[in-house]
Amino acid sequence: MLKQLPLLLLIIFSSCLAQEKIKGSRNVKTEQYDLNSFHSIEASGEFKIEILKGSRASIEIKADDNLHDLIQTNVRDGVLYIKPFKQFVREKSQDLKITFSDTLKKIILAGKVEFIALQDLHLQDFELVTRENCKAYI
């Protein structure tokens, strides 16, 4: 039994690593979508996110054309959620540009998100939470 233990551990470990990953096509496409108004952002995954204030809430997604449908963006209870449905590999681009129209109260980043403010945001009572390997330039 002890001789089979390393083999069993190897099988369990490799099955954990064998999550389905989607390979990017490397054909970059940009699309813009209007969003409902939001006051907070929760983003996870591996994205470069740029943010600016504008007259209406929207998001511009610049990513490999086969990955657009796999980037989940939705507004629920005033929170914009951004995350991938599946893990991506060898993608050329995963850039998001978010325009917000109201004030921002909170941003939570997890994974490998790089978050960049393209202008001075002039926020009051604002909270920024970064987890894992995130970077925020505000």
Residues 67-122: tens digit of each pLDDT: 888 899 999 999 999 999 877 665 567 899 999 988 899 999 999 999 999 999 88
pLDDT band at 2 (very low <50, low <70, confident <90, very high): low
Mean pLDDT of the chain: 86
Report the C-alpha gap between 105 and 22 in whole angstroms.
Answer: 33
Residue 113: CATH number of its domain:
2.160.20.120
40 within a domain of the structure (yes/no): yes
Distance in Å from the first CA to the final CA of the chain: 56
Domains: count for the chain: 1
What is residue 61's predicted lDDT score, i.e. its pLDDT? 95
- Going across the sheet that includes 106-111, the strands are 71-76, 79-84, 40-45, 106-111, 127-130
Within-domain flag for 2: no
Tell me if 125 is assigned to some domain. yes
| Residue closest to 93 by CA, chosen among 68, 57, 59 | 68
pLDDT of residue 1: 52
Q: Rounded to whole angstroms, what are the CA distances from 138 to 37, 97, 119?
A: 21, 14, 8
Residue 102 lies in a domain: yes
Residue 54 included in any domain: yes
Instruction: Of 7-11, 14-18, 41-45, 71-75, give the lowest mean pLDDT range.
Output: 14-18
In which domain, by residue range, is 81 found?
22-137
Q: Pick the closest to residue 66 from 83, 85, 47, 52 (CA basis).
A: 85
Is 0.85 topped by the overall pTM?
A: no
Say if 114 falls within a structural domain.
yes
